[in-house]
C-alpha cells in the first residue's frame, strides 16, 4: 500500500499556474489592437517636434498608410484612394447623422497619414487633396520622434 | 459519530487536477506571445488644411476684407520654393527669389531657414496673410 502511494506523487502545479496567469495578464494588458491598422514595414520620417495626438474624445480618425510607391494601405490591403475615401466619407456621414450631429460639409474627424519617408510629395499631396474634397480638414502626418536604432 | 468525522476529513483533502487548466493557460499564453507587437513610438504633425482655392479668388477675398477694415493693409504673400535634387532630397530653398538654404535639410540648414523666417515675421509693418509653398514634383 505504501509503495502504491509513493507511485502517485504529483508535483504541485499551483505556483506554475499562478505564474502563467500573471504572464497572460501582462500580455493582455500590452496587446495593441491598433497595430492591425498600421503598416509597420513603413519607414517614417524622423521629426523631433512630432507630438502624440490628443483626440479629446472625438471620433476615431481615419488611418492611411502610404508606401514608398504611393500605394495606400488600409488594414493591410492595398486600396484605390478615391473609392476608399468616398466609402469612408459616406459611412462617416451616416454615423454622424445617427448620432444626431448636424450635417456639415466639413468633418469633425481627422485623417492620420503614415507616409513612408521615400514617398514623392506629389503622391502624398494627391491623397490629401482627395480627402479635402471629401470633407476632411484635419490632417496629421506621422513621424518617428527619434531615429530607430535597429 | 466517529465514522462521520473521518468522512469529513477525507472530503477536505480532495485536490483539483490543475493540469488541464495549466494546458489551457499555456495555450492562451502562446497566443498572446505570438500576437505581441509593441506599438511604435510615433508622434504626429497636426495640420489644418482648408480646401484649395484658386489664387485669383483668394486675392479677391483678401482685397474685399482689407477694404472693409483698413485700406492700407493689403494681402502679402510669402513665396517659398523648394527645389529637389536627383535623389528627391532638398537641393535649395528659395525665399522670395533669394536662396536661403542650399543642400540637404540638416539641422544647421533648418536653423538657418528658421532664423530667416523669424527675421521676416519679426518686422511689424509687413503683414503676411498667407504663405505660398511651391514644391518640386520629385521631392520626397
The strand pairing partners of B45, in sequence order, are: A141
On chain A, the residues whose CB falls within 8 A of the CB of B19 are: 13
**Residue B74 pLDDT greater than 60, yes or no:** no
List the beta strands (DSSP E) in B62-129.
77-84, 90-95, 98-102
Mean local confidence (pLDDT), B64-73: 49
| pLDDT higher at B138 or B65 | B138
Which of A29-37's residues contact partners 24+ apart within 8 Å by CB, and which partners? A30/B36, A30/B38, A31/B32, A31/B35, A31/B36, A32/B37, A32/B38, A32/B39, A34/B39, A35/B37, A35/B39, A36/A75, A36/A76, A37/A63, A37/A74, A37/A75
On chain A, the residues whose CB falls within 8 A of the CB of B41 are: 144-146
CB of A53 within 8 Å of any CB in chain B?
yes
pLDDT of the residue at B57:
62
When mean pLDDT is compared over A132-141, B76-85, B128-137, the highest value belongs to A132-141
When mean pLDDT is compared over A102-116, A128-142, B121-135, the highest value belongs to A128-142
A54-86 confidence digits (pLDDT tens): 766 667 888 899 998 889 998 888 989 999 999
Nearest to A46 by CA among B41, B54, B49, B60: B41
Q: Do B36 and A31 touch (CB under 8 A)?
A: yes
For A123, name the nearest residue in chain B, comparing CA atoms only. Answer: B137
Confidence of residue A50 (pLDDT cuts 50, 70, 90): confident
**CA B130, chain centre distance (Å):** 22
pLDDT of the residue at B28:
93
CB of A35 within 8 Å of any CB in chain B?
yes
**Residue B131 pLDDT greater than 70, yes or no:** yes
Q: Do A144 and B22 touch (CB under 8 A)?
A: no
- Do the interacting molecules here have an ipTM over 0.85? no
Q: Do B137 and A30 touch (CB under 8 A)?
A: no
Mean local confidence (pLDDT), A44-57: 76
Chain B positions touching chain A (beta carbons under 8 Å): 18-19, 21-22, 25-26, 28-29, 32-33, 35-52, 88, 135-140
pTM for the whole thing?
0.66
CA geometry: angle A66, A71, A73, nearest 5 deg: 60
Q: Do B36 and A40 touch (CB under 8 A)?
A: no
Mean local confidence (pLDDT), B100-115: 83
Confidence of residue B70 (pLDDT cuts 50, 70, 90): very low
Query: Rounded to 5 degrees, what are φ and ψ at B114?
Result: -60, -45
**Residue A2 pLDDT greater than 50, yes or no:** no
Per-residue b/e over A69-90, b at no fewer than 16 CB within 10 Å?
ebbbbbeeeebebeebbeebbe
pLDDT of the residue at B61:
61
Amino acid at each position: 500500500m505504501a509503495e502504491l502511494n509513493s507511485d502517485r506523487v504529483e508535483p504541485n502545479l499551483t505556483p506554475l499556474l499562478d505564474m502563467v496567469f500573471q504572464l497572460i495578464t501582462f500580455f493582455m494588458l500590452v496587446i495593441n489592437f491598433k497595430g492591425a491598422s498600421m503598416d509597420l514595414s513603413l519607414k517614417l520620417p524622423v521629426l523631433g517636434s512630432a507630438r502624440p495626438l490628443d483626440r479629446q474624445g472625438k471620433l476615431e480618425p481615419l488611418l492611411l498608410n502610404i508606401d514608398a510607391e504611393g500605394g495606400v494601405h488600409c488594414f493591410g490591403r492595398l486600396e484605390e484612394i478615391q473609392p476608399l475615401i468616398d466609402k469612408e466619407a459616406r459611412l462617416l456621414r451616416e454615423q454622424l447623422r445617427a448620432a444626431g450631429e448636424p450635417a456639415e460639409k466639413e468633418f469633425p474627424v481627422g485623417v492620420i497619414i503614415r507616409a513612408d519617408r521615400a514617398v514623392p510629395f506629389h503622391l502624398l499631396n494627391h491623397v490629401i487633396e482627395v480627402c479635402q474634397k471629401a470633407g476632411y480638414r484635419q490632417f496629421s502626418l506621422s513621424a518617428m520622434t527619434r531615429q530607430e536604432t535597429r | 459519530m466517529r465514522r462521520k468525522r473521518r468522512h469529513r476529513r477525507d472530503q477536505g483533502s480532495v485536490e483539483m487536477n490543475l493540469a488541464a487548466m495549466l494546458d489551457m493557460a499555456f495555450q492562451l499564453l502562446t497566443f498572446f506571445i505570438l500576437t505581441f507587437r509593441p506599438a511604435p513610438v510615433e508622434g504626429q504633425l497636426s495640420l489644418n488644411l482648408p480646401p484649395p482655392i484658386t489664387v485669383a479668388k483668394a486675392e479677391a477675398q483678401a482685397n474685399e476684407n482689407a477694404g472693409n477694415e483698413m485700406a492700407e493693409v493689403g494681402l502679402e504673400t510669402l513665396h517659398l520654393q523648394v527645389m529637389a535634387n536627383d535623389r528627391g532630397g532638398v537641393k535649395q530653398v528659395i525665399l522670395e527669389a533669394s536662396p536661403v538654404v542650399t543642400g540637404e535639410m540638416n539641422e544647421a540648414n533648418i536653423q538657418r531657414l528658421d532664423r530667416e523666417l523669424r527675421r521676416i515675421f519679426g518686422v511689424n509693418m509687413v503683414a503676411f496673410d498667407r504663405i505660398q509653398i511651391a514644391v518640386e514634383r520629385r521631392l520626397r
